[in-house]
Structure 1
Amino acid sequence: MHEPTRTSTPQPGRYGDPVYHPTTIQQPQMWPAELPPGVEMVTLPNGFRTLAYTQPGTPAPVPAAAGQPIPAWAKTAALLAPTLGGGIAAAGFGISYAAPGVLAMAHALWAAVALIAAGALAPLLLRTTHGRTGHGTAPVQHVTQNITAAGMFGRATGTGTLNNR
């Protein structure tokens, strides 16, 4: 079995082992330029100076990038949007006021259609009603025609008579 040798000078121990320092501490010197970002030399309450991580400071605000100019079509659309909305609102308002007049005109149109239909049908109705009652009837004409043709492609001849009653 192998026994570790003990020396009078302290050997570097494992992580977590107590560290024994001589009465005078010889710290290595490090230039401030060699310190990585976020590490500073601090003095502890017992007087020791050591390196420590510090809280990162608030980063400097990044200057806002200069905005790009607004395209002309976007400006035009932005200016036309309220105009278009106002036009639609005005049209709706006008239609709401015009609705009773439109309904009245529709009724008048139907009355005109009925008047035209009555004017077109009145002579036919009057002629048939006068013929039935016997007052002031016009003479009736009867047409009689006799048409003859010889063969399928023959010339047609005909005679006709008008009879007045």
Structure 2
Amino acid sequence: MPYEHTTASTTPATRYGDPVLYPTAVQQPLMLPAELPPGVEMVILPGGIRTLAYTQPPAAPAATVAAQPIPAWAKTTALLAPTIGGGVAAAGFGISYAAPGLIAMTEALWAAIALIAAGVIAPALLRTTRKAGNRSAPVQHITQNISASGMFGRASGTVNNR
């Protein structure tokens, strides 16, 4: 691939760090110190350039607050806080140990409630079904008499329907 011929540049090449030459210097109008607004001052930068800059106003002296005594209720609360926290922690620890027993007791309580409910509801249901079902036929009583004589005697019996 053939290379094309290039012509030399007429501007000199600048390297990194070389000072930049400005063709013309810009003249800024100067302000009198009386014309400067509050908080703006004329400063000289490290390169020797003078410019306007905003400045921080001087910090106002901090007002010192006199130490006040701690109220009695605050001291009492501060002393009670660890005690209450310790009591809550001990209660949680005890409940964690008692949890299996509490679960067993609740299951036993539910079983007792179910037993009581069955004891109350079952007879009421039996009464209502017995009254409705026995209106057509009277109740029959069956008696049975069995007797036997001797150790190896034969048993005999009678069945009476009344």
Q: Which has the larger radius of gyration?
A: 1
Q: Check whether TM > 0.5.
A: no
Q: What is the TM-score with the length of structure 2 in the denominator?
A: 0.37
